[in-house]
């Protein structure tokens, strides 16, 4: 391992100070650690090294060494190597480290690599595990995040159709991750990441501007029936024995009137009537749509099996 | 990440910090980067023999320990810390936001998330949102009771039958999965391990009675495992209702062009009836003992409520 580490440090030192593309041959004959290898052995070794660095987040890329693009060399632009230092205090780094230990990603706490890059922490400690399973293991999710952070376009297949979006943000809600973004000529939409496939990031960072004041948290509706085109003000009666359960699920902006017998009347905005009826049916006969009459009729139709 | 990459990552993290903090004590560097003294010196020795092509005395980096101080010189090209990978940035931010949304975050975490977010997406906007909230008060109370080994009296409404029952439980742990909070506990009333959905706990009260928590409580397993007493039904779903397969613990019997045939298990026939009612024409019952009757009963109960108004 010692030889590999020395070779990698020499390679990085060379590329970071070169200010020009360095050809594979130059690396082979001048960087300590690569000398005395056959062609094959050198190339295998160099590929492995690049792969290890890429995994750490150090991108080494090829660029032409001259304007005629006859020869190519390797570059490591400092802006792609360096951390945009957020300037965390020790206290803030520690809080972040504890959060990363407490919130489990795919069952595992995160390794210390990221926090070391940020400057390490003055002490280590455990925390009462929150054990919130965020399902952060998927590579699609990191790809989507990279596209969001770099403002690159993002392509994927969703509902059997290929899409290319400008990804504005990521949201984790009710146990799922969504990428929020806009296809050309369409409204801003949320796509559930575990329902996408063939995800690929565009090659050009800075492709789009995020809308001013964009807030990912506001991009997803609070309740399933708030996602849609409709605009109905519904009034619903919940009986006393389910009122507590209904109230926990009502969005904050819903009106509620508490009655002496423990029942409540809720007034809420419904944009998707089907989703709303689906939710109400879970209360069986303990909930009743009082108004409007059309929504009432629609629910009855649904129960009768007519629609 | 391989061990080589981990070690290189630590070296490339330690060097910038030592360069920015000249005269740092060995102990401090060890604490901050999780080094033993021996490992730190081994890494410094390694750095000492590396540098720029030519590799003469003026080309190599300088790194050693003197008078208990870590000395690094001639290594300015490693003065900047490494950029975070997208996965690392996302991991830290998401963990921070999750903790904030659960209502347990210290102010330092909020500041850290704000700074990190600004560094990762400098052009502004709040690009990441994580919501694991649910019943923060109840979750916090149950977690404290679990940590302190206190018996909790709960009033719980089961999802299946909808019956509400008082139970006495020994709380083990609280976890969030698939958008809901769950309590794993030993239920004294039922005399067995149980998983409770926290939002179905109507009331909870921590008692003074202590219990000895198991050394290694089983992880909260939210996946539904059909039990012997469960009701099973075979259901045909249209393509529009395929999502059911992702939300419920089901078995796919047949994947057809016209949709999906699934086997659905539940603790009570009422759960299956409710699902069928909700899906309407998107689902058809193929077979299931008692399900058709339960569905008819559910229909008539709802319709009679609407008819009497």
A146: closest CA of chain B, how far (Å): 5
Residues of B in contact with A96 (CB under 8 A): 92, 95-96, 109, 112-113, 116
Per-residue pLDDT at B62 exceeds 90: yes
What whole-number distance in Å separates Cα of residue A297 and Cα of residue A304?
Answer: 10
- Pick the residue with more confidence: B244 or B198? B198
Specify the pLDDT at position A108.
57
DSSP A128-165: ----B---TT-HHHHHHHHHHHHT--EEEEETTEEEEE
What whole-number distance in Å separates Cα of residue B124 and Cα of residue A215?
Answer: 10
Do B105 and A95 count as a contact with CB atoms less than 8 A apart? yes
Question: Rounded to whole angstroms, what are the CA distances from A291 to A112, A253, A299, B309?
Answer: 56, 18, 11, 12
Average pLDDT estimate for B245-261: 81
Give the residue among A229, A238, A270 at the shortest CA–CA distance from A251. A270
Average pLDDT estimate for A267-294: 90
B156: closest CA of chain A, how far (Å): 11
Average pLDDT estimate for B141-164: 85
Structural contact between residues A139 and A197, judged by C-beta atoms closer than 8 angstroms: no
A269: closest CA of chain B, how far (Å): 20
Please report which confidence band the pLDDT of residue A307 belongs to, taking 50, 70 and 90 as the band edges: very low
Do B82 and A299 count as a contact with CB atoms less than 8 A apart? no
Within 13 A of B308's CA, how many CA atoms are on the CB side?
A: 8
Asked if A105 reaches chain B (Cβ–Cβ under 8 Å), the answer is yes
Q: Which site among B31, B48, B112, B173 would you substitute to test the A interface, given the most A Cβ atoms closer than 10 Å to its Cβ?
A: B112
Percent of chain B with pLDDT over 90: 47
Give the model confidence (pLDDT) of B287-301 as tens digits.
998 999 999 999 999
Bridge partners of residue B201, in order along the sequence: B156
Structural contact between residues A80 and A54, judged by C-beta atoms closer than 8 angstroms: no
Give the residue among B172, B164, B167 at the shortest CA–CA distance from B142. B172
Within 13 A of A103's CA, how many CA atoms are on the CB side?
A: 27
Among partner residues B80, B277, B305, which is closest to A281 by beta-carbon distance?
Answer: B277
Residues of A in contact with B126 (CB under 8 A): 169, 214-217
Question: Rounded to whole angstroms, what are the CA distances from A180 to A140, A154, A183?
Answer: 14, 11, 10
Give the model confidence (pLDDT) of A55-105 as tens digits.
888 989 998 887 777 889 999 988 889 988 899 998 899 888 888 877 765
CATH number of A2-81: 1.10.10
Specify the pLDDT at position A229.
65
Instruction: Give this prediction's pTM.
Output: 0.67
Average pLDDT estimate for B208-229: 71
- Pick the residue with more confidence: A297 or B163? A297
Fold of A225-304: Alpha-Beta Plaits (3.30.70)
What whole-number distance in Å separates Cα of residue B304 and Cα of residue B297?
Answer: 11
Handedness of CA B150, B151, B156, B158 (dihedral sign): positive
Q: What are phi and psi of A88, to 5 degrees?
A: -80, 145
Question: Rounded to whole angstroms, what are the CA distances from A169 to A187, B46, B130?
Answer: 14, 42, 11
Sole residue written with tokens 């960072």: A205
How many pairs of residues across A and B have Cβ atoms under 8 Å apart?
344
Average pLDDT estimate for B262-272: 85
Asked if A113 reaches chain B (Cβ–Cβ under 8 Å), the answer is yes
**Domains and their CATH numbers in chain B:** 3-78 (1.10.10), 86-120 (no CATH), 136-210 (2.30.30), 231-308 (3.30.70)
Residues of A in contact with B305 (CB under 8 A): 285, 288
Residues of B in contact with A209 (CB under 8 A): 123
């Amino acid at each position: 391992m010692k030889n590999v580490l020395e070779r990698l440090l020499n390679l990085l030192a060379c590329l970071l100070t070169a200010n020009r593309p360095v050809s594979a041959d130059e690396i082979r004959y001048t960087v300590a650690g690569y000398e005395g290898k056959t062609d094959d052995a050198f190339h295998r070794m160099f590929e492995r090294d690049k792969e290890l660095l890429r995994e750490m987040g150090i991108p080494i890329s090829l660029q032409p060494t001259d304007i005629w693009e006859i020869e190519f060399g390797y570059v490591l632009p400092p802006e792609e190597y360096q951390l945009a230092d957020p300037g965390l205090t020790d206290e803030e780094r520690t809080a972040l480290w504890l959060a990363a230990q407490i919130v489990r990603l795919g069952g595992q706490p995160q390794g210390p690599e990221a926090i070391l890059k940020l400057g390490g922490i003055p002490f280590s400690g455990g925390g009462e595990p929150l054990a919130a399973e965020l399902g952060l293991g998927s590579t699609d999710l990191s790809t989507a995040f990279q596209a969001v952070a770099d403002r690159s376009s993002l392509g994927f297949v969703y509902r059997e159709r290929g899409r290319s979006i400008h990804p504005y943000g990521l949201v984790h809600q009710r146990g799922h991750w969504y990428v929020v973004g806009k296809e050309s000529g369409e409204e801003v939409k949320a796509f559930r990441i575990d329902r996408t496939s063939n995800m690929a990031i565009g090659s050009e960072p800075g492709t789009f501007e995020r809308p001013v004041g964009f807030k990912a948290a506001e991009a997803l509706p609070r309740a399933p029936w708030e996602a849609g085109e409709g605009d109905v003000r519904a009034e619903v009666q919940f009986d006393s024995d389910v009122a507590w359960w209904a109230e926990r699920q009502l969005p904050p902006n819903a009106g509620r009137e508490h009655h002496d017998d423990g029942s409540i009347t809720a007034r809420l905005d419904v944009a998707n009537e089907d989703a709303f009826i689906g939710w109400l049916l879970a209360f069986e006969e303990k909930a009743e749509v009082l108004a409007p009459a059309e929504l009432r009729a629609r629910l009855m139709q649904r129960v009768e099996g007519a629609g | 990440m391989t061990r080589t990459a981990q070690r290189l990552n630590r070296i490339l993290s330690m060097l910038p910090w030592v360069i920015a903090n000249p005269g740092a004590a060995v102990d401090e560097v060890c604490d901050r980067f999780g080094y033993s003294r021996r490992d730190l010196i081994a890494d410094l020795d390694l750095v000492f023999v590396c540098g720029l092509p030519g590799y003469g005395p003026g080309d190599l980096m300088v790194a050693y320990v003197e008078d208990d101080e870590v000395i690094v010189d001639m290594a300015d090209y490693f003065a900047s810390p490494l950029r975070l990978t997208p996965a690392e940035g996302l991991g830290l931010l998401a963990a921070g936001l999750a903790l904030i949304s659960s209502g347990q975050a210290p102010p330092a975490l909020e500041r850290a998330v704000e700074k990190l977010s600004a560094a990762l997406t400098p052009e502004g906007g709040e690009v990441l949102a994580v919501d694991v909230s649910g019943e923060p008060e109840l979750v916090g109370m149950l977690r404290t009771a679990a940590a302190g080994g206190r018996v909790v009296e709960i009033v719980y409404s089961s999802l299946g039958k909808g019956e509400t029952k008082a139970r006495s439980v020994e709380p083990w742990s609280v976890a969030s999965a698939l958008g809901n909070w769950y309590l794993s506990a030993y239920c004294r009333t039922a005399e067995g391990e149980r998983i409770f959905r926290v939002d179905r706990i109507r009331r909870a009260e921590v008692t003074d009675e202590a219990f000895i928590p198991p050394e290694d409580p089983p992880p909260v397993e939210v996946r539904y495992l059909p039990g012997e007493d469960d009701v099973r039904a075979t259901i045909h779903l249209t393509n529009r209702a395929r999502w059911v397969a992702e939300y419920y613990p089901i078995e796919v019997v047949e994947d057809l062009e016209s949709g999906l045939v699934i086997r659905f298990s539940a603790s009570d026939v009422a759960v299956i009836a409710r699902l069928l009612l909700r899906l309407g024409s998107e689902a058809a019952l193929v077979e299931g003992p008692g399900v058709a009757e339960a569905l008819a009963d559910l229909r008539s109960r709802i319709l009679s409520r609407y008819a009497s108004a």
